[in-house]
Structure formats: C-alpha cells, structure tokens
Amino acid sequence: MLVNREVILSKIEPVYNVDSSPGAADAILVENLGWSYAGARMIERKPVRQSIAALKQVHAGTLIELTYEIELKGAGVAYSASVRPECDSSLRVCGFGATIDVTASAEKATYAPVSTGHESATKYFYADGHLIPVTGCRGNVSLNLETGNTGKASVTVTGHVGTVTDTALITPSYDSSVPPAMIGAGFSVGGYAAVINALQFDMSNTVATPPDINADDGYGEIIITARDCNGSFDPEAVLIATHDFHGGWRNGTDMVLTTGVIGATQYNRFKVDMPAIHYRSIGPGDRDGKRTYDMGFGAAESTTDDEVSIEFS
C-alpha cells in the first residue's frame, strides 16, 4: 500500500451523520493527508484478584480525525448552485456558510462564518486498498497565504468512522483548474499597503464531541460551539508617520484588512476581507536584513458573523 496512492472524497450531508455517498466527482485534491483515531476509549479493568497482571481492555467507541491541505482556487467556470470551488465542502464543514451569486458574467461564491446551521459532510478516505468511511464531519480551518506559493487551507475534521473495508481505489474526477500564485495581490491593513511575505489566519473553532450512550460509537453530534478568528502577518517596519503599528496595538484600533484580488483569470480569482481586525501582539523580525514586525491580530465582527469573508470570482 503506497502513501501516494490515496484519494479523499467529500460531500455535504442533507441530514447530519447520514452517509451522503460521495462519488468520483466529489474527489478533492489535497496534500499532507493524515488520519488518527480521536477520543478512542479503551476501558481499563482493575478488579482485585490473586494476579497482578492486567486484564484485557475493552473498546468503548471512537471517532476519527482527518487532516489535509487543500488549494485555494476557483472552479474555472461560472459559479452556480452546483458549480463551486473545490474547497467548498471543506469550508462549509468548518463553520462557513456559502452565498452563490449567479448574476450573468459576475458570478461569484462567497464564504463567511455562521453561528447556526453548521453543515456536515461524509468523507470517503481510500488508502490504496482500504476504504475508511467517515460521516458527520465538522472541524476547523486555517488559511496560509505566502508569497511565491499557492494559497492553501489547512483542514482538520472529526467524524464518526464506519467499518474499514478492503476496497479497490476509486478513479477520481478532479477539478482541472490550476490555483493562482500568491503574487500581484493588493494587501493592505488600515488603508496602508504593507509589504509582507505571508498572511496566516485560523478560525480557531471549538469543536465539541459530546458522549451519547445511545450511539453505536458512544458519541453524539459533533458540534462547533465557539470560534476566535485570529492570525498574523509580517510587514516591513516603517516610520510611525507611515503606519503606526505600535500605537495601533496599544490603542486597540479597528482596521480593515484585505488581500486584494489574487489571480487574474475570471472564475479562478479569490480575495480575503476582514472589516475589523485589531493587533494583539507585536514583535521584531528580520527578513533578508530588513527589519520586520511579527504582527498578531484578532478579527472581530463589524456587524454579525462577518469577521472574515473569502470570495471566489
């Protein structure tokens, strides 16, 4: 069984934890795919008896955690209810809602966090001869945008694992669009076009896995109970008169952060907007002998559920 011969399928569930039966067309192209059993319960039995040897442990249920990175890219063709970016289901199970604008020649897909109605997905993990079915997946996502690379979302989801079976590797059907490089952007913060190398932010979702004595695996519905969108970037240091990073941190100044549009081809462009970030930390950095700052920030709501939006156009 080869590590490089693995495939993952992902499809949103109309009903939580009911297998949505993803097929070849639901394949997503990912990197650094990994899995581990999460919350596995092995009961230790410690009765008093004549022997000091341990007794056989009893398995009492488990969940499974999947991790992967997925490229940020558009669908390559006009967006619609059925045509969305490849990362669509990955964002939606991590607490984002999707809004699809089908206005002719201006179609776009926009993702913003929601506080209710979180969706779930079924994921089939084919591991070169094994099939691991996972239902009820929800989790957390962070975005990594670095100069000279492609934008990527790092996803961690937890779900209910079914029976692992010997199953031939499926022939997947991947989205053929190629992600834009992280160049030619229009990054700015507080209206200042800072020179940065990388922007990273994490939704920091709190994912709860409550017990359920009636469930076959001993776990109930996996739920997202809180989030704290936060991140960092690394601007070149400038005079206070140009942009006051220090004063902005001390004063808790709210600022608009935007990446600008990344990519030049319609239906394969994206941008990230945050209407009200505030600096949480500042520290010195060094990039090729130039002084930089390591800026930590939090993203607050401007109204409700709008601390970040990711728009594909």
Q: Are strands 255-258 and 270-287 parallel, antiparallel or unpaired?
A: antiparallel
**pLDDT of the residue at 217:** 97
CB 37 within 8 A of CB 63: yes
**pLDDT of the residue at 4:** 83
Residue 45 is given by DSSP the state -
CB 259 within 8 A of CB 291: no
Q: Return per-residue pLDDT of the chain as tens, 313 residues.
A: 888 899 999 999 999 999 999 999 999 999 999 999 999 999 999 999 999 999 999 999 999 999 999 999 999 999 999 999 999 999 999 999 999 999 988 999 999 999 999 999 999 999 999 999 999 999 999 999 999 999 999 999 999 999 999 999 999 999 999 999 999 999 999 999 999 999 999 999 999 999 999 999 999 999 999 999 999 999 999 999 999 999 999 999 999 999 999 999 999 999 999 999 999 999 999 999 999 999 999 999 999 999 999 999 9
Q: Are strands 121-127 and 129-146 parallel, antiparallel or unpaired?
A: antiparallel
CA 62 to chain CA centroid, Å, is 23
**pLDDT of the residue at 229:** 98
CB 146 within 8 A of CB 182: yes
As a dihedral over the C-alpha atoms of residue 300, residue 301, residue 306, residue 310, rounded to 10 degrees, the angle is -10
What DSSP line would sit under 245-285, residue for residue? HHHHHHHT--EEEE---B-SSTTS-EEEEEEEEEEEEEEEE
Domain boundaries along the sequence of the chain: 7-42+58-312
* N-to-C CA span, the chain: 39
Q: List, in sequence order, every residue forming a beta bridge with 272; answer none if it has no partner.
A: 310
CB neighbour class for 97 (10 Å; exposed up to 12, middle 13-18, buried from 19)? middle
**pLDDT of the residue at 199:** 98
Report d(CA 13, CA 251) in Å as an integer.
45
